[in-house]
Amino acid sequence: MTLLEIVRSLRPQQWLKNLFIFAPLIFSQNLGNFILFLKSSLAFAIFCLLSGALYILNDLKDIDEDKLHPIKSQRPLASGRLKENVAILAFFLLSALSILLSLLLNWHFLLMAFLYFILQVAYSFRLKHVVILDVFIVAAGFLIRVIAGGLAIKVYISPWLLVCTTLLALFLSLGKRRHEIILLDEEATSHRPILAEYSPYLLDQMISVVTASTVIAYCLYTISGETVTKFGTTHLIFTVPFVLYGIFRYLYLIHRKSQGGTPEILILKDKPLLADIFLWIVCSTAIIYFRW
């Protein structure tokens, strides 16, 4: 039973974020390279263990606040199903294992994994209480995953990929903050004090800026000279409608359905959004690899 609670504390449902590690493999046109695929898969597994360990640390740090949250109070630590001393031991063991496994790839990947670890620890203890910077740190986690994915297989990472990843991550992070404020209402600050610095209106303004920037950046990426030269086609522009629909659908779920607190769960539960992402992947892969 304890082992099961530890696994639940690793939040496997949030490991979907680590799929960003495969982005460099796909966009470097190496998806069919079995060796590089194995290296990317190992990098994915390492970040699953590392992020899981950091989720345990975050739950340990926020255990009192989580007890007041209508959803997070059901987590193993907040509910009392998992003892704190066991959670602490699991955190140290998984963190050490993740760092050791990183050595199987290369030193550059190890340094990036360690940077992610340090940044998330700093976020848990201090940076999550700094307005605006807290959202940027969450977004940085996605960016580090993409960079780590490129370092794991030693391929060039396009600046466009980094820009689009950062903007998309900011979009998701701001949406999550808005959901927290709406869900917790007057009790928001007792759960997360930094929410006192935000308001739905302020977040909506930020989301509007990031939404427009994300769409423009992706459109420019599809028609840039670097992209056309690399993939040998101008047809990537035809994937823009999928991006637009996905963003609009997500905004609809945030504003009309009061969702967005856990983007990874929302993506799996909302069939139209899931279908859109699937179609974008299929269309992008077909264009990049078959150059039609």
CATH number of the domain bearing residue 25:
1.10.357.140
What does the pLDDT read at residue 185? 64
Does residue 30 form part of some domain? yes
- What whole-number distance in Å separates Cα of residue 171 and Cα of residue 182? 17
- What whole-number distance in Å separates Cα of residue 225 and Cα of residue 232? 10
- Contact indicator for 236, 288 with CB cutoff of 8 Å: yes
- What whole-number distance in Å separates Cα of residue 145 and Cα of residue 43? 9
112: number of Cβ within 10 Å:
23
Burial of 37 per CB tally in 10 Å (0-12, 13-18, 19+): middle
Where would I find the H helices in 62-132? 63-66, 76-79, 84-102, 107-125
**Amino acid sitting at position 97:** L
Structural tokens at position 18? 């680590």
Task: Please indicate, yes or no, whether residues 107 and 210 belong to a single structural domain of this protein.
Answer: no
- Contact indicator for 110, 99 with CB cutoff of 8 Å: yes
Task: Please indicate, yes or no, whether residues 19 and 150 belong to a single structural domain of this protein.
Answer: yes
Structural tokens at position 180? 């927290």
Task: Please indicate, yes or no, whether residues 65 and 207 belong to a single structural domain of this protein.
Answer: no
DSSP 8-state assignment for residue 67 = T
What does the pLDDT read at residue 177? 85
Domain extent for 105: 1-157
Would you mind telling me the total number of residues written for the chain in this entry? 292
**Amino acid sitting at position 104:** L
What does the pLDDT read at residue 189? 57
Does residue 163 form part of some domain? no
Handedness of CA 51, 95, 154, 33 (dihedral sign): negative
Question: Could you give the number of structural domains in the chain?
Answer: 2
- End residue of a domain, out of 95, 129, 157: 157
- What whole-number distance in Å separates Cα of residue 242 and Cα of residue 128? 33
1: number of Cβ within 10 Å:
7
Task: Please indicate, yes or no, whether residues 229 and 142 belong to a single structural domain of this protein.
Answer: no
Task: Please indicate, yes or no, whether residues 32 and 146 belong to a single structural domain of this protein.
Answer: yes
Does residue 238 form part of some domain? yes
Structural tokens at position 137? 């740190």
Does residue 164 form part of some domain? no
- End residue of a domain, out of 157, 181, 211: 157
Please list the helix, strand and coil fractions of the chain in percent, rounded to the nearest 5, in that order. 85, 0, 15
Task: Please indicate, yes or no, whether residues 217 and 287 belong to a single structural domain of this protein.
Answer: yes
Task: Please indicate, yes or no, whether residues 262 and 284 belong to a single structural domain of this protein.
Answer: yes
Query: Phi-psi category of 198—alpha, beta or left, where left has phi over 0 and alpha has psi -120 to 50?
Result: beta
Task: Please indicate, yes or no, whether residues 225 and 112 belong to a single structural domain of this protein.
Answer: no
Task: Please indicate, yes or no, whether residues 238 and 103 belong to a single structural domain of this protein.
Answer: no
Task: Please indicate, yes or no, whether residues 108 and 203 belong to a single structural domain of this protein.
Answer: no
- End residue of a domain, out of 122, 157, 192: 157
Task: Please indicate, yes or no, whether residues 183 and 131 belong to a single structural domain of this protein.
Answer: no
Burial of 191 per CB tally in 10 Å (0-12, 13-18, 19+): buried
DSSP 8-state assignment for residue 154 = T
What does the pLDDT read at residue 292? 59
Q: Among all chains, which residue has been given the structure tokens 């994937």?
A: 239
Does residue 162 form part of some domain? no
- What whole-number distance in Å separates Cα of residue 29 and Cα of residue 13? 28
Does residue 165 form part of some domain? no
What residue ranges of the chain have pLDDT lower than 70? 1, 66, 68-70, 184-192, 259-261, 291-292
Task: Please indicate, yes or no, whether residues 123 and 54 belong to a single structural domain of this protein.
Answer: yes
